[in-house]
Structure 1
Amino acid sequence: MKSIAALQAVVTATPFDGEPSNTELDAIELEMPLILAEVDLLDAEIMTLDRPATELDERRVRRARQRVLAERRDLTNRVVAMWTGGVA
């Protein structure tokens, strides 16, 4: 039986230290408003799972969906502005 220990060093040349890189943290920070809006939408949808949706529930879900769409639009605009150097 051949040992593959020597080959493992080549495959795992850069060990994962378990922490996100600065670039990943910056991306998370950029996307945080969208993440929070999606969490609010999920919360609103979860509230309607175990009971019939009331008018207030429907408005809450609709508002949360609109916020998610707005945050997606804003995120897209921010990313495009970063890529083009602020000229879009």
Structure 2
Amino acid sequence: MEYIDTDQAAVTASEPDIEPTAAELNAIETEMPVILAQVDLLDAQITVLDRPVAELDARRIRRARRKVLEARRSLAEQVRNLTTGVGA
């Protein structure tokens, strides 16, 4: 019988790679409104998993979906504005 060993070096970060870089932190901060909106939507969807959807629940889910779409649109505009000035 052969044992299968995992390569720990491949899956474990080395000491200098543990903390995120400044660029990664900035990217997370930029995307944070989208992340929070998605968390709100997920929370609204989880709430109705084990019960029938009431009118207030449906409104909450619709409101959360609109919030996600708005956050994504805003992020896309920010990215477009940043990239528009680069090649001009």
For the aligned pair, the TM-score class normalised by the smaller chain equals: 0.7 to 0.9
Letter in 2 for 1:46: I
For residues 34-83 of structure 1, give each alpha carbon's deviation from its aligned partner in whole angstroms, at most 9, with x where no partner exists.
00000000000000001111000000000000100010000000011111
Deviation beyond 3 Å, 4+ runs, structure 1? none
DSSP 3-state at the match of 2:52: coil
Tell me which amino acid in the other structure corresponds to 1:79.
V
Q: Cα deviations across residues 8-49 of structure 1 (Å, max 9, x unaligned)?
A: xxxxxx865211100000000000000000000000000000
Provide the residue aligned with 1:76 in structure 2: 76
Between Structure 1 and Structure 2, how many residues are aligned? 73
- Given the two structures, how large is their TM-score scaled by the length of structure 2? 0.77
Task: Give 5+ residue unaligned stretches, structure 2.
Answer: 1-13
Question: Please, which runs of 5 or more residues in structure 1 have no aligned partner?
Answer: 1-13
Identity of matched residues, % = 58
TM-score, with structure 1 as normaliser: 0.77
Match of 2:26 in 1: 26
Q: Which has the higher contact order (CA 8 A, sep 6+)?
A: 2
- How far the C-alpha of 1:85 sits from its partner, in A, is 2.5
Based on CA coordinates, which of the two structures has the bigger radius of gyration? Answer: 1
